[in-house]
Structure 1
Amino acid sequence: MIRHLVLFKLNEGVERDDPRVVEGARAFQALGGRIDELRFWECGWNISDRPIAYDFAINSAVDDAEALVRYLEHPEHQAGVALWREFATWVIADYEV
């Protein structure tokens, strides 16, 4: 099993209620039930106000490296990434569990 973690930081001046952000969050929230490779899916807004905190997180899992590639290349995942690219940056970690 591979755990796929993503932490998003909204760009300077972009707020959570920005329509683009709302659409991006909805797109990612819907992925859990739409991509067969996902064995676990959760995402949500950070509740911490610490200066080093990121804004939005995805915590997911897939069976193996091939499933991770299929997930990453899935059209709905790519559509969500395209939305977020307009208003955020992110970091990822993929590790075996």
Structure 2
Amino acid sequence: MIRHLVLFKLNEGVDRDDPKVAAGVSAFEALGERIPELASWECAWNITDRPIAYDYAINCTVADTEALRRYIEHPAHQAGVALWKEFATWVIADYEI
């Protein structure tokens, strides 16, 4: 099993209530039901306000590296990523559990 973690930081001057951000969040919230490779799926806004904190997170699991590849290449995932590229940066960690 592989855990896939992603932490997003909104670009300077971008707020959570921006319509582009809302569209990106909606796209990611739907992935759990749209991508069969996902064994688990969580995504949510950070609830704390600290200088080093990121703004939004994805935490999911897939069976193996092939399932991770299929998830990453899935058209719904790629569409969500395209939206987020317009207003955020992110870091990723994938590890075996």
| TM-score, scaled to structure 1 | 1.00
Q: Which amino acid aligns with 1:68?
A: L
Percent identity between the aligned chains? 76
Q: Which residue of 2 aligns with 1:86?
A: 86
Which ranges of structure 2 fall in alignment gaps of 5 or more residues?
Answer: none
Which deviations, in whole Å up to 9, do the C-alpha atoms of 1:25-56 show, x marking residues without a partner?
00000100110000000000000100000000
Runs of 4+ in structure 1 over 4 Å off: none
CA–CA separation in structure 1 for the residues paired with 2:52 and 2:27: 25
Count of aligned residue pairs for this structure pair: 97
Q: CA deviation at 1:16?
A: 0.1
Please report the TM-score for the alignment, with normalisation by the length of structure 2: 1.00
Cα-Cα RMSD: 0.2
Aligned to 1:13: 13
Alignment-derived partner of residue 38 in structure 1:
38
Unmatched runs of 5 consecutive residues or more in structure 1: none
SS in 2 for 1:33: helix
